[in-house]
Structure 1
Amino acid sequence: MRPPGRRGTGEWRSLDRDLERVSVLEAGAIHLSRPLLGVGVSLAFIVVSMLVTLLVTGREPGTMVIVAASALAAYMALNIGANDVANNMGPAVGSGALPMAGAITLAVICESAGALLAGHEVVETLSRGILDFDLVSASPAFAPAMIAALLGAALWVNVATWIGAPVSTTQAVIGGMIGAAAAAGGLAALSWQTLGLVALGWVLSPLLGALVAGALLAVITWRILDREDKIGAAQRWLPRLIGLMAGAFSAYLMLKLPLHLGRSFAPGLIALVGLGLGLLSWRLSIPAVARQAQGLENRRGAMKVLFRLPLVISAALLSFAHGANDVANAVGPLAALVEWQRSGVASEFVSLPFWVLLIGAAGISVGLMMFGPRLIRMVGQEITRLNPVRAFCIALSAAMTVILASAFGLPVSSTHIAIGGVFGVGFFREWFTQPRNPDPARRFPVQERRRRRLVRRSHFMTILGAWLVTLPCAGLISALVFTLVRLLSGVA
């Protein structure tokens, strides 16, 4: 063995430098290959979805149209998982309550369970009364219109995910339906009054979400965080908040799950169930919170421990409801085409075969695992700084705002509510941390006022712009796709 010397040391240093170069190149290659892995897995999933459709439908007339629609439904489901699920898990990850891997695992389980266990047996084919379905379904271009609607909505959500903007996939699907149906049946197919009401709901959704989330954070700050005995205040108020969460989410689920079933629970029953579960949860959580509070220091940091579990539960419930409700966004048009192939008649409310539901549920999960982390980080970490208390306010505001809007008969977007809640807690903190009654003679310079901003304005403008153009862009893409398909297929 060569004794250690200058030459030997130099050789080892050279080897170390070479290994460092190899390690850097290897890390760079892995980093560059990650997007390709996601694309490859997504393409494989789309191909598998087409094969499953081909095996299930056989060689009946119109099979190839169904196979093409299943590919687009799988593509749409992938985009829903990549974009929409971030609204539910982003605050939990950004607050540190869940690691990224844990959040994705929990979301996959809850989204799949919601879609498969509570997914709609019957889905509404078109856009909640926005379109005259009889006029659209009577057109020989019904099948190309459904395909164009799926492709237009999926392409726009893909673009929004690429630019880092969480958008409402429901809004994109409605835009796609409107564009394709208008191209097939003319503007007479649109119900402008209903469209105006839905658009008003989309505008008010983020405002309501921001106000409710900000109000919840103000109450928690006033009643718990600013008290001298923070632990004692938390033991009194956190069980009440948990009871409010249980009641709100039970009512939220009762409102969201039967949305497309052609029936709904009576308002009195919803209120009774929500009140009962809320009171029960409040009483049961009192000793649990007391045990968890033992040994905690009397400071604000202890609230992270106390609020972590309620936050995780609320995020799981939001994901379950999202999977049950929004799976229809991906597979609704596909279910309509399956019904059209089977009976020869298009219906506004169609049954949802299990294999169609499975494509939607699996696609959401695959899209979340492959592409979800980027928007989860953006929602949870890059808009404003979150902790478990603020993230809990955001999650609870989503359920409360849906209930509040439903009481007034206003259709709202859960995506807009959740993002509005993130901005709401951020702007509340920005306002709350400003000095009160400052010296009139003292004016903060512009640079100092900007430094004190707790919400990133660039993300605010990007998301707002994406929301404004989602419906027209999805509609325009769908109309162009429909026109192209009609020209190529010769459909009148």
Structure 2
Amino acid sequence: MVAAGTLATLLVAALASLFMAWAIGAGSSGSTPFAPAVGANAISVMRAGLIVGVLGFFGAVLQGANVTEAVGTSLIVGAPITATAAIVSLVTAAVLVAIGVFAGYPIATAFTVTGAVVGVGLALGGDPAWAKYREIVALWVAVPFVGGSIAYGTARLLRAERVPERVAVPTLAGLVAAIVANIGFTVLGPPGVQRSLAGAVAAALPAVVVAGVDTGRIAVTVAFAVVVALALFRDMTLDEARGQRRFLLALGGLVAFSAGGSQVGLAIGPLVPLLGGEGASVQIPLLAVLVGGGLGLLAGSWTGAPRMIKALAQDYSSLGPRRSIAALIPSFAIAQTAVAFGIPVSFNEIIVSAIIGSGYAAGGAGVSTRKMAYTVLAWIGSLALALAVGYGAFTAVDAVV
């Protein structure tokens, strides 16, 4: 039997988590995936917010476990997050993200949540998880360079006159399809194990081993990539603009799905020590928690995302279809890498870096350098501020309570 006071505390923590999920849906995961598509006039702002919410929900449920567990258990050593600490960290991060949403600046959600969780964890008496911090910082530092460089190279390829778009775009679609075929899904594997579409299909086929390597998964991946590339090539042969637009919207959908898988962990991760495992006040399956977090993302996307979509699509860069495609491809790949390794990552950082890279491929046209500088400062400041406020707020609350 759970005591009434404990149940009330858990309820407040859950409400704080839903508020955080709403803020993320309205800001990071809700606005960034379709911002380039909106900038290219491939979809309206309101329709983008509707679609990204649904896809983000499914991404949260199907891919959210890795980052959720990392945020809940891997950022602090020796001091499990308590209900009060979860409330303080979530409210601190959510308020900072909400301020960014209403001010029109994309605050890096992963920075604020990570800073807040680490801050309250240190205030609890825990030790820094240096190994995990090195992984996180390495990815955060690499994102602007890797994402921007890939976006720049892709945009230059699409602008090259010697490579027809009806060949370049389907080729890129085939590469994206190969990544999709190897994304891990919990529902495709045995309990507690993720399996990709290529892995699931290969497991159902007779094994063919060459030089000690099972070629089944490779063959399925190549076949899937070729089918997608040929389908888009046919579509672009009939109507090049329509085929390009469809690929752009498909990319936006993939990024939205990936955003849900990554960002839901930032909202519900602090609840993990409270709802499962030894010493937890109540036992709730992780899938149920993921569904709750996904619904919070969905609500945020439908109610608050249009403002940020407009900010990213129109204020950061005047994007055409080619530059939008160039921005979304690395965004999708980086997001899935972060999900696979269970590393919290900011979608605002990913998308904005890719937008800059694709923008400079066109000579920097339409890129607001001043706004970019303010955004970077906001990212750095949000991490430091969230850590300091989280530490101070929990210390104050703990002294009173």
- How far did residue 242 of structure 1 move? 1.3
User: 1:313 aligns to what?
Assistant: 250
Q: 211, 233, 241: which is aligned to 2:172?
A: 241
Q: Aligned-pair distance for 1:98?
A: 0.8
- Is 1:90–1:377's contact at 8 Å kept on the other side of the alignment? yes
- Secondary structure of the residue aligned to 1:368 is helix
Contact 1:257 1:325 in 2 (8 A): no
Deviation per CA, 1:402-429: give whole Å up to 9, x if none.
5788999998544422211001111221
Unaligned runs of 5+ in 2: 201-214
Structure 1 segment 423-442 matched on structure 2, within 5 A: 423-430=356-363
| Amino acid of the structure 1 residue aligned with 2:167 | R
Distance 1:197 1:284, change over 3 A: closer
Q: Identity across aligned pairs (percent)?
A: 23
Residue 203 of structure 1 aligns to a residue in which SS? helix
**Does the 8 A contact of 2:28 with 2:346 survive in 1?**
no
**1:454 partnered with 2:366:** yes
Gaps in structure 1 of 5+ consecutive residues: 1-56, 297-301, 432-452
- The Cα RMSD (Å) is 3.5
**1:120–1:257 Cα contact (<8 Å) kept:** no
The answer to whether the 8 Å contact 1:111/1:361 transfers is yes
Aligned partner of 1:470 among 374, 382, 390? 382
Correspondence for 2:35: 90
In structure 2, the partner of 1:293 is 237
Residue 184 of structure 2 aligns to which amino acid in structure 1? Answer: M
Alignment CA distance shift 1:190-1:400 (3 Å): same
Q: Is the 8 A contact 1:81 1:372 kept in 2?
A: yes
The answer as to whether partners of 1:151 and 1:478 remain within 8 angstroms in 2 is no
Matched, 1:254 2:217: no
**For 1:359 and 1:192, how far apart are their aligned partners in 2?**
31
Asked if the contact 2:266–2:344 (Cα under 8 Å) also holds between the matched residues in 1, the reply is: no
Q: Deviations over 1:103-153 (max 9, x none)?
A: 112112211222234443994164673320xx212xxx8222222111111
Structure 1 counterpart of 2:254, one-letter code: L
Mapped contact 1:88–1:319 kept (Cα < 8 A): yes
CA distance in 1 between partners of 2:51 and 2:350 (Å):
21
1:344 equivalent in structure 2:
279
**Residue matched to 1:130:** 75
1:430 alignment partner, SS class: coil
1:479 maps to what in 2?
A: 391
Match of 1:333 in 2: 270
Corresponding residue for residue 488 of structure 1: 400
Distance 1:410 1:218, change over 3 A: farther
Deviation at 1:240? 1.4
Deviation at 1:237, TM superposition (A): 2.8
Match of 1:69 in 2: 13
Paired residue for 2:211? Answer: none
Q: Tell me the distance in 2 between the aligned counterparts of 1:59 and 1:103.
A: 44
- Structure 2 equivalent of residue 387 of structure 1: 320
The residue number in structure 2 matching 1:363 is 296
Residues 286 and 358 of structure 1, relative CA distance in 2, 3 Å threshold: closer
The counterpart of 2:136, out of the listed 162, 185, 198, is 198
Q: Which residue of 1 aligns with 2:24?
A: 80
- Equivalents in 1 of 2:186, 2:304: separation in Å? 26
- 1:470/1:127 CA distance change after superposition, 3 Å: farther
Cα deviation digits, residues 293-337 of structure 1 (max 9, x gap): 33x5xxxxx5x4331111111111111122233212212222432
Residue in structure 2 matched with residue 155 of structure 1 by the alignment: 95
String of CA shifts for 1:363-388, please: whole Å, max 9, x gaps. 21221122111111111121111112
Partner amino acid, structure 2, of 1:235: R
Are the counterparts in 1 of residues 262 and 338 from structure 2 also a CA contact under 8 Å?
A: no
**Structure possessing the higher relative contact order (Cα contacts under 8 Å, 6 or more residues apart):** 2
Query: Residues 156-235 of structure 1: matches in 2 within 5 Å?
Result: 156-185=96-125, 189-222=127-160, 226-227=161-162, 233-235=164-166
SS in 2 for 1:484: helix
SS in 2 for 1:429: coil
Deviation of 1:465 after TM superposition, in Å, equals 0.7
> 1: distance between equivalents of 2:267 and 2:334?
25
- Per-residue deviation, 1:254: 2.7
Q: Determine whether 1:104 maps to 2:49.
A: yes
State the Cα distance separating 1:390 from its structure 2 match.
1.1
Deviation at 1:357, TM superposition (A): 3.0
CA–CA distance in 2 between the matches of 1:160 and 1:335? 26
Figure out how many residues of one structure are paired with residues of the other and give that number.
383
Normalized against structure 2, the TM-score is what?
0.83
Q: 2:64 touches 2:260 (CA, 8 Å); kept in 1?
A: yes
Verify: 1:400 aligned to 2:333, yes or no: yes
